[in-house]
């Protein structure tokens, strides 16, 4: 605590991202990165943009990128907002659309950045318990509130809420914003973006960090009706006019345009996920059904923290949250086929010996 | 206004950045970009980073870049904070260090983003009038306040406050944060960074957009004692963990390390600025003494708005602010030697004919 800090700073509990170790021999399955490279078209576009034009500001409105997003998702450019990763899009959304007198609702087990944003911006909120199977019950949200946000599929559980249920939630709360954070939707879910046309209260947020294999480029976007997007732009233009550099805009546009690559990449990851889920079940894990590029699993006989440590000793990094209800779970990103085989072998070895 | 917006959004007056026209025949002298390309080392570093590693998150702490900043400025890495352009660094600074009950002070004629941040974050502020020559009078700031921020050299005036006066301000307000926004310091000023060691209330902010010719890469940084930096990190890590992508971190590090290139680039721009200032004076302009990569000038016989329009008709874009005290001024970025010659020729032609 410093006397020079604004009063709010002392009360913050900043988000702690998953460990980003320096490259080496570690098998990194802790932050849900894509195990495959981005589309070659992305690298070409970046190479073409990396010249003396870097002396000039990037387009503050990301017009070309927003046009590509609009084409890909069959919306208008005025319905698209881009930001520096979906985390920045979320930050502007919390401040611009989700700060109301009534509490914001989100699941008790969810992306742990949500309560952090609420504290930063002074937003009242109320966690809503997932049911015993970690499923979201729409009826629990149909009550007076300032808004709703939830990831679909949820993180870190991987569980998908069917689109019919998403629609029921949006229709049931027509007077407050409902934000669906679809960071992982391409790995087996059905996007709510087509619902935007008929629902002025719906905002859908995507990222290029997961299915587009571009976590290192920092691009996310939101889709909603034009007046929601205008609210986001007013906040963004009061914060940072140029959040996306020239290289990120060029690379992201190329990524959006390579639909075939996206499809093949996601199919490969889904196939590996299903195989990994079965193998983990065979080892005695209870594995939640996942529609994401990770699985969430616990072993009835082994402490999750000890399992994470034992894996780390064997050079596998997975995510273990010391949080209520999930402290006996591991969240394991879907890697390549070879990484998955190696992980299963390592777990088999760990489980065949007594607790370490 | 939408019923879904947070209450604050309707009252925002977002910043309006200078026009960013698509490349063409325009001579762009309106947003103080560097007329010369970035260091070749920057482009090499970006090319080396633009590979399949983009699938992985960037370093959330920008360790390598912060180490390069620390080496260049003879501080420790714990005294360096980086962000997505100095605008994002400023945004976190306003929320994290400048929000107090007593009003924040800044010049009445200054970077027009400052009052925008104040409105976004609910920070009380009081503009302090520059004197008739647009100089900052330190004594006017030595009074009860929540903090002080000012650019040095100031924008859009270009006027430099001597380091002895900066030091007097910092020493005179030991109990509140004093932020010196040195976006243009490399073009002829003396940085306050060496004062950080003895002054826990001082934060100095730099950008790579101007003297490093990297406006399109979006990198800025702040230097202050470790507890000020920790305050900024707490806010940043409650907002967006990964604001700098892999390419920006790599390019910025290379830029910081190429000191020779920086020196030559700034010397060239300073020489052109002095020549342009004399030529404008010869055309009858009153030109403020500038320590930046732009000049601020007005013509006693010609309306500034009309001059800007006449220049635009001749494909020159300069900045004209319709704001109190400065509506008869033009802010003209220093271009290449050839661009400057062409600009002076165009102005000579405009001034030799009757008002348009």
For chain A, which residues make up each domain, given as ranges? 19-37+260-352, 40-257
A52–B91 C-beta distance less than 8 A? no
The rounded distance, in Å, linking the Cα atoms of B181 and B178 is 10
pLDDT at A354: 77
**Tens digits of residue pLDDT in A115-125:** 999 999 999 99
Name the residue of chain A whose CA is nearest to B87's CA: A240
Q: Model confidence at A310, in pLDDT bands (50, 70, 90)?
A: very high
Chain A residues close to B334, C-beta within 8 Å: none
A245–B245 C-beta distance less than 8 A? yes
pLDDT at B355: 67
Question: Which of B48, B62, B91 has the alpha carbon at shortest distance from B245?
Answer: B62
pLDDT at B16: 87
Q: Among B50, B85, B209, select the one facing A240 at the smallest CB separation.
A: B85
Architecture of domain A19-37+260-352: Alpha-Beta Complex (3.90)
Q: Tell me, letter by letter, the H, E, C secondary structure of chain A.
A: CCCCCCHHHHHCCCCCCCCCCCCCCCEECCCCCCCCCCCHHHHHHHHHHCCHHHHCCCCCCCHHHHHHHHHHHCCCHHHEEEECHHHHHHHHHHHHHCCCCCCEEEECCCCCCHHHHHHHHCCCEEEECCCCCCCCCHHHHCCCCCEEEEECCCCCCCCCCCHHHHHHHHHHCCCCCEEEECCCHHHCCCCCHHHHHHCCCEEEEEECCCCCCCCCCCCEEEEECHHHHHHHHHHHCCCCCCCCCHHHHHHHHHHHHCHHHHHHHHHHHHHHHHHHHHHHHHCCCEECCCCCCEEEEECCCCCHHHHHHHHHHCCEECECCCCCCCCCCEEEECCCHHHHHHHHHHHHHHHHCCCC
Chain A residues close to B244, C-beta within 8 Å: 218
The residue of B245, B266, B269 whose CB has the most chain A CBs within 10 angstroms, and thus the best one to mutate to test that interface, is B245
Which residues are registered as beta bridge partners of B122?
none
pLDDT at B288: 98
Distance from CA of B305 to the nearest CA of A (A): 24
Fold (topology level) of A40-257 = 3.40.640
Average pLDDT in the A222-246 region? 97
The rounded distance, in Å, linking the Cα atoms of A33 and A45 is 21
Average pLDDT in the A64-71 region? 98
Average pLDDT in the A57-64 region? 97
pLDDT at B22: 73
pLDDT at A355: 67
A53–B9 C-beta distance less than 8 A? no
* 8 Å CB contact between A100 and B10: no
ipTM: 0.96
The rounded distance, in Å, linking the Cα atoms of B248 and A5 is 28
* 8 Å CB contact between B79 and B225: yes
pLDDT at B20: 82
**Tens digits of residue pLDDT in A162-179:** 999 999 999 999 999 999
B55–A17 C-beta distance less than 8 A? no
Residue % of chain A over a pLDDT of 90: 95
Sign of the alpha-carbon torsion through A149, A153, A154, A159: positive
Chain A residues close to B251, C-beta within 8 Å: 54
**Tens digits of residue pLDDT in B256-296:** 999 999 999 999 999 999 999 999 999 999 999 999 999 99
Q: Give pLDDT < 50 ranges for chain B.
A: none
A55–B213 C-beta distance less than 8 A? yes
Determine the length of chain B.
Answer: 356
Q: Among A9, A58, A248, select the one facing B231 at the smallest CB separation.
A: A9
Indicate the CATH number for domain B40-258: 3.40.640.10
B37–A43 C-beta distance less than 8 A? no
**Tens digits of residue pLDDT in A99-137:** 999 999 999 999 999 999 999 999 999 999 999 999 999
Distance from CA of B183 to the nearest CA of A (A): 15
End-to-end Cα spacing for chain B: 39
What CATH number does domain B7-37+260-352 carry, 3.40.50.10190, 3.40.1350.10, 3.40.1390.10, 3.90.1150.10?
3.90.1150.10
pLDDT at A356 over 60: no
pLDDT at A23: 67
Chain B residues close to A213, C-beta within 8 Å: 54-55
pLDDT at A18: 83
**Tens digits of residue pLDDT in B59-110:** 999 999 999 999 999 999 999 999 999 999 999 999 999 999 999 999 999 9
pLDDT at B21: 80
pLDDT at A170: 98
A4–B228 C-beta distance less than 8 A? yes
| B40-258 has the same fold as B7-37+260-352 | no
Chain A residues close to B84, C-beta within 8 Å: 84, 240, 243
How many cross-chain Cβ pairs, A to B, lie less than 8 Å apart? 278
């Amino acid at each position: 605590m410093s006397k020079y800090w604004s009063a709010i700073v002392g009360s913050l509990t900043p988000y702690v991202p998953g460990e980003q170790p320096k490259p080496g021999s570690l098998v990194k399955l802790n932050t849900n990165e894509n195990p495959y490279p981005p589309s070659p078209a992305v690298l070409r576009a970046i190479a073409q943009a990396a010249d003396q034009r870097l002396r000039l500001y990037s387009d503050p409105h990301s017009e070309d990128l927003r046009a590509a997003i609009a084409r890909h998702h069959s919306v208008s450019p005025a319905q698209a907002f881009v930001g520096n990763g979906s985390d920045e899009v979320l930050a502007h959304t919390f401040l611009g659309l989700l700060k109301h007198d009534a509490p914001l609702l989100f699941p008790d087990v969810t992306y742990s950045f949500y309560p952090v944003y609420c504290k930063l911006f002074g937003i009242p909120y109320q966690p809503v318990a997932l049911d015993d199977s970690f499923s979201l019950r729409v009826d629990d949200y149909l009550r007076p509130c300032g808004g709703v946000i939830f990831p679909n599929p949820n993180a870190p559980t991987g569980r998908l809420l069917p689109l019919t249920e998403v629609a029921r939630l949006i229709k049931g709360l027509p007077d407050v914003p409902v934000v669906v954070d679809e960071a992982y939707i391409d790995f087996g879910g059905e996007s709510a973006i087509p619902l935007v046309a008929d629902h002025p209260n719906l905002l859908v947020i995507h990222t290029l960090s997961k299915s587009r294999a571009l976590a290192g480029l920092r691009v996310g976007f939101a889709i909603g009706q034009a007046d929601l997007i205008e609210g986001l732009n007013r906040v963004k233009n009061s914060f940072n006019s140029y959040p996306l550099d020239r290289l990120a805009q060029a690379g992201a546009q190329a990524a959006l345009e390579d639909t075939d690559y996206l499809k093949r990449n996601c199919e490969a990851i889904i196939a590996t996920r299903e195989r990994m889920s079965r193998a983990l079940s065979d080892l005695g894990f209870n594995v939640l059904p996942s529609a994401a590029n990770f699985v969430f699993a616990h072993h009835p006989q082994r402490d999750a923290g000890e399992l994470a440590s034992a894996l780390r000793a064997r050079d596998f990094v997975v995510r273990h949250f010391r949080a209520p209800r999930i402290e006996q779970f591991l969240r394991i990103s879907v890697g390549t086929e070879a990484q998955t085989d190696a992980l299963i072998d390592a777990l088999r070895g760990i489980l065949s010996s007594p607790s370490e």
